[in-house]
Chain A
Amino acid sequence: MTLLGVRDLVTAYGSVEALHGVSFHVDEGEIVALLGANGAGKTTALRTISGLLRPRSGEVRFAGDRIDTRPAHEIVRLGLTQVPEGRWIFTLMTVDENLRLGAYAEPRVPREALDRVFALFPRLAERRGQLAGTLSGGEQQMLAMARALMTRPRLLLLDEPSMGLAPVLVRQIFHTIAEINREGTTVLLVEQNANTALRLARRAYVLENGRIVLEGPGAELARNEAVRRAYLGVGARPRGREGARERPPAP
Chain B
Amino acid sequence: MQIALQQLVNGLTVGAFYALIALGYTMVYGIIRLINFAHGDIYAVGAFLGLSVYGLLAFFRVGDPVLATLVALVVSMGCTGLLGVLLYRVAYRPLLRARLSILISAIGGSLTLEYGLFLVYSPSFLVYPHLFGRAGLTAGDIQISWLQILIFASSIVLMAALYLMVHRTKIGMAMRALAINQDAARLMGVDVSRVIALTFFLGSVLAAFAGVLTGLYYSQISFLMGFLIGLKAFTAAVLGGIGNIPGAVLGGFLLGILESLAAGYFSSRWKDVVAFAILIVILVVRPRGLLGERVVERM
Contacts and interface: CB of A to CB of B under 8 A. Distances in A.
Do chains A and B stick together as partners? yes
Interface of A: 50-52, 71-73, 76-77, 81-82, 84, 86-93, 97, 100-102, 104-105, 133, 140, 147-148, 151
B173 A97 contact: yes
B299 A133 contact: yes
B165 to A, nearest CB: 15
A37 B153 CA distance: 61
Nearest to B194: A73
B190 A101 contact: yes
A88 B174 contact: no
A105 B191 CA distance: 10
A101 B177 contact: yes
Given A82-B187, A101-B177, A147-B188, 5 more contacts: A84-B187, A90-B180, A91-B299, A97-B177, A104-B188
A97 B191 CA distance: 17
B294 A73 contact: no
B93 to A, nearest CB: 13
A51 B177 CA distance: 18
Contacts of A101: 173-174, 177, 185, 188, 190
A86 B187 CA distance: 14
Contacts of A89: 184, 299
B191 A88 contact: no
Interface in B58-116: none
Nearest to A52: B183
Given A88-B183, A91-B297, A92-B294, A104 B176 contact: no
B192 interface: yes
Minimum-distance CB pairs A-B, first 5: A88-B184, A105-B189, A72-B186, A76-B189, A101-B188
Contact of B184 (A51, A71, A84, A92): A84
Contact of A93 (B177, B183, B191, B298): B177
Nearest to A100: B173
A81 B187 CA distance: 7
Contacts of B296: 91-92
A101 B184 CA distance: 10
A14 to B, nearest CB: 11
B105 to A, nearest CB: 21
B297 A133 contact: yes
Given A101-B173, A104-B190, A90 B181 contact: yes
Contacts of B297: 91-92, 133
Interface string B237-253: 00000000000000000
Contacts of B184: 84, 88-90
A184 to B, nearest CB: 20
Contacts of A72: 183, 186-187
B269 interface: no
Contacts of A105: 189
Contacts of A52: 183, 186-187
Nearest to B180: A90
A92 B299 contact: no
21 contacts: A50-B187, A73-B190, A73-B192, A76-B186, A76-B187, A81-B187, A86-B299, A88-B299, A89-B184, A90-B176, A90-B180, A91-B296, A91-B297, A93-B180, A100-B173, A101-B173, A101-B190, A104-B174, A105-B189, A140-B299, A151-B189
A73 B173 contact: no
* Interface-centre pick from B173, B185, B187, B191 (highest chain A CB count, 10 A): B187
Nearest to B191: A73
B184 to A, nearest CB: 4
Contacts of A100: 170, 173
Nearest to A148: B187
Contacts of B180: 90-93
A167 B74 CA distance: 60
Contacts of A86: 298-299
A117 B228 CA distance: 52
Nearest to A97: B173
B83 to A, nearest CB: 26
Contacts of A93: 173, 176-177, 180
